[in-house]
Amino acid sequence: MPEPKRDTICALATPPGQSALAIIRVSGPDSLSVLHKVFKPLRGEQKPFIATRGDVFDLDDGICIFFPEGKSFTGEASFELTLHGSPIIVEQVLEKLHALGVRAAQPGEFSLRAYLEGKLDLCEAEAIADLIHARSEEAAKLALRNLKGALADYLEPTRNTIVDILCEIEARLDFPDEELGIAHRERFSQQMRTAERVLKKLLLSSKIGQRLMSGARVALVGVPNAGKSMLLNALVSEDKALVHDTPGTTRDVIEANWILSGIPITLVDIAGLREDKNLDPVERMGIERAKKEIERADLILWLSENTHEGGFLPNHLTVPVIKILTKQDHELVIPAEAGIQNTSEQMLDASLRWHDKVIPISAKTGVGLADLEKHMAQILGSGAVATEEAMLTKARHKEEVQKAKECLQEANEALLRQEPDEIIAFELRSAGASLDRLLGKNISEDVLDTIFSRFCIGK
């Protein structure tokens, strides 16, 4: 594990620009000596943890809080200056700090130091970034649970199980004449199966966990004038997209943010899909962009004004598609066998996994929108949002838990086949190493740099 850097760093911890207040953070071994040069209390002297009013470089009347070593967020001696939010004042204070030898912090460097000083495990540190970037209340709650150690607490019993079994097996490697008894094998096998089930359950949460943090992209697709723009406006309750009876009104990609049952959604309105040699170049460019958006989508809403229109969707498409019958304010009668049929070789292949339900709606009157939202929520997995259990929120998390689960399975199978103890121990060590990498107990400097570089400067 890399050693903590011993220089002193500073950064603006609030968003840049004009504001009521601005906070500058300083952390490192020289923090206290720098503080005496930076800040002069109006009365008395600066005491730890006490918000003290005073002069900052004779540039501003501000507030300072000092945190001694071991008692700060980073674990180092540090202090925070609360200034008036003038960009000029902030810039001047930072320049004077740099002149005193205080280096500008890199993105995420404060959190990195907290991790290196043992104040946070790696998942807790990553949860800080998740909390900052949370796009919904449920996402923020999940990030806060992970920040408080929910994931580490969930995995700790499994890790302890692995360590306990490994200790017993490796102890026997020192006494090769003493075989592992049947009772021990049965107990170890049961413990490994239990641990494997725990990890399997956690893996099931990864899709919803990642979706809560990164959101889902939902494309509104159909022929021109199918009602895509009107539906987008109705869902977000805002006139985001231009609506007109003229086919081909939407030519560029229009995005709107929306929260559906706790999941952040990016609704994407795209150009209507059609083939016509006489299309003008601008609409043709819009259709090309639309095809790219279809490839990026997590869910497609296929809109049609009647039951016989098909769509120019790629045959290899694997994401879910919901069929929507639009403009039901016209009281169109829907046959019992209603479905969208393929009408050209370029249209949707019959093997594509459609959801069998056709949802009639009227974006104008609101009829059917509640049913559509419910169906979308079921597909996107928002039913798991309300759980208070730990969830995996990163692809890295999922990869490490998957490796640990597979190694546990291999260890158990080797145990049941009565293979040499060395093989069982190897698989158990590999499982434990995966969980340690997940929590940051044994991780390379390159991985740390990648993770913390995605943080904000000043965090």
Rounded CA gap, 87 and 247, in Å? 49
**Structural fold of domain 9-119:** Gyrase A; domain 2 (3.30.1360)
pLDDT per residue as tens digits for the range 162-171: 988 888 887 7
pLDDT at position 122 is 87
pLDDT at position 328 is 80
Rounded CA gap, 352 and 320, in Å? 9
pLDDT at position 378 is 86
pLDDT at position 337 is 42
Query: What's this model's pTM, rounded to 2 decimal places?
Result: 0.71
Dihedral, 242, 245, 249, 253 alpha carbons, nearest 10: 50
227-241, 312-326, 338-352: segment of lowest average pLDDT: 338-352
pLDDT at position 345 is 30
- Which residues does 28 contact at the CB level (< 8 Å), separation at least 6? 6, 7, 8, 9, 76, 77, 78, 102
pLDDT per residue as tens digits for the range 185-240: 888 999 999 999 999 999 988 888 888 888 899 999 888 888 888 899 999 887 76
311 vs 139, more confident: 139
pLDDT at position 186 is 87
Q: Which of 94-103, 107-116, 181-190, 349-358 has the highest mean pLDDT?
A: 94-103
What are the residue ranges spanned by the domains of the chain?
Answer: 9-119, 127-205+391-451, 211-384
Q: Does residue 88 register a pLDDT over 60?
A: yes
Q: Report, as an integer, the average pLDDT of 311-326.
A: 77
pLDDT at position 358 is 84
**Crossing angle of helices 109-116 and 122-133, rounded to 10°:** 150
Q: Does residue 90 register a pLDDT over 70?
A: yes
456 vs 200, more confident: 200
Superfamily of domain 211-384: P-loop containing nucleotide triphosphate hydrolases (3.40.50.300)
Q: Which of 60-64, 177-181, 271-275, 288-292 has the highest mean pLDDT?
A: 60-64
Q: What percent of the chain has pLDDT over 90?
A: 42
Q: Does residue 127 register a pLDDT over 80?
A: yes
pLDDT at position 101 is 95
pLDDT at position 183 is 54
**What confidence category does residue 270 fall into, taking pLDDT thresholds of 50, 70 and 90?**
confident
Q: Does residue 331 register a pLDDT over 90?
A: no
Q: Does residue 147 register a pLDDT over 70?
A: yes
Residue type, 418: Q
Q: What is the mean pLDDT of the chain?
A: 82
- Which residues does 169 contact at the CB level (< 8 Å), separation at least 6? 180, 188, 421, 424, 425, 428
**What confidence category does residue 349 fall into, taking pLDDT thresholds of 50, 70 and 90?**
very low
**What confidence category does residue 339 fall into, taking pLDDT thresholds of 50, 70 and 90?**
very low
pLDDT per residue as tens digits for the range 409-446: 999 999 999 888 889 989 999 999 999 899 887 645 54
Q: Which CATH number fits the domain 127-205+391-451, given the four candidates 1.10.10.10, 2.40.50.100, 1.20.120.430, 1.20.120.10?
A: 1.20.120.430
83 DSSP β-pair partners: 22
Choose among 63, 49, 77, 94: nearest CA to 457: 94
27-36, 129-138, 246-255: segment of lowest average pLDDT: 246-255
Q: Is the Cβ–Cβ distance between 375 and 300 less than 8 Å?
A: no
Rounded CA gap, 186 and 367, in Å? 59
pLDDT per residue as tens digits for the range 257-266: 999 988 899 9
**What confidence category does residue 104 fall into, taking pLDDT thresholds of 50, 70 and 90?**
very high
1-5, 257-261, 380-384, 453-457: segment of lowest average pLDDT: 1-5
